């Protein structure tokens, strides 16, 4: 098992977070993360939005499953399979985001269905500024064979 301790979000992904936060001000937003591994650093190349049928509420978000599946398939195909599905992201109406029990439960489920590892990125949407991204977001990783969740260091 490769030990991943850091995650780097590329500009393109952070721009997607910012535009979704602005578009759905006061409501949660989210999507999926696509990326690749470079040694022990996880690189997030792209993030999707939630899609046309996503549910955005004050304390709830659910992505549009058809849109997400299509986005993942298209991005993996366009990258000649160099990129893979890495996990999910969503916002919380918080400054310092903390995961809910439901968040950890769903991270556990997605890592099990991926058969490997998955990450969950939670972004505090209150006063969000891209330059403070690493202070206003947390990334939690769950390996399918380990029982614990780990926090990853952001954009080292
Ligand atoms: Zn959450």
pLDDT in tens, 93-117: 999 999 999 999 999 999 999 889 9
- Taking residues 2-27, what's their average pLDDT? 94
Give the integer Cα–Cα distance in Å for 55 and 70: 18
pLDDT in tens, 62-84: 999 999 999 999 999 999 999 99
Ligand 1 centroid, distance to 38 Cα (angstroms): 28
Ligand 1 centroid, distance to 137 Cα (angstroms): 12
Six token digits for residue 74: 């298209």
Ligand 1 centroid, distance to 4 Cα (angstroms): 22
pLDDT at 117: 94
End-to-end Cα distance, the chain: 22
Ligand 1 centroid, distance to 101 Cα (angstroms): 8
Give the integer Cα–Cα distance in Å for 31 and 111: 16
Q: Using the predicted structure, report yes or no on whether residue 123 has a pLDDT greater than 60.
A: yes
Ligand 1 centroid, distance to 80 Cα (angstroms): 32
DSSP lists the bridge partners of residue 154 as 7
Query: CATH number of the domain at 6-154, please?
Result: 3.40.140.10
DSSP lists the bridge partners of residue 88 as 32, 120
Ligand 1 centroid, distance to 145 Cα (angstroms): 23
Ligand 1 centroid, distance to 71 Cα (angstroms): 22
pLDDT at 3: 84
Q: What value does the mean pLDDT of the chain take?
A: 94
Strands (E), 27-147: 30-38, 41-47, 55-57, 60-62, 84-92, 117-124, 137-143
Q: Where are the domains of the chain?
A: 6-154
67 contacts: CB under 8 Å, gap ≥ 6: 48, 50, 51, 52, 53, 54
- Taking residues 19-34, what's their average pLDDT? 97
Residue showing tokens 């046309």: 52
């Amino acid at each position: 098992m490769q030990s991943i301790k850091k995650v780097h979000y590329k500009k393109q992904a952070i721009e997607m977070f910012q535009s979704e936060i602005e578009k759905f001000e006061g409501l949660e937003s989210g999507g999926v993360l696509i990326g690749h591994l470079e040694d022990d650093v996880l690189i997030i190349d792209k993030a999707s939005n939630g899609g046309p049928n996503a549910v955005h509420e004050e304390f709830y978000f659910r992505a549009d499953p058809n849109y997400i599946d299509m986005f993942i398939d298209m991005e993996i195909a366009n990258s000649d399979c160099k990129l893979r599905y890495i996990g999910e992201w969503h916002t919380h109406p918080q400054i310092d985001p903390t995961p809910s029990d439901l968040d950890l439960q769903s991270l556990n489920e997605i890592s099990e269905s991926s058969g490997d590892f998955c990450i969950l990125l939670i972004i505090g949407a209150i006063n969000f500024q891209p330059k403070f991204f690493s202070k206003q977001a947390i990334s939690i990783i769950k390996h399918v064979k380990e029982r614990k969740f780990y926090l990853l260091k952001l954009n080292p």
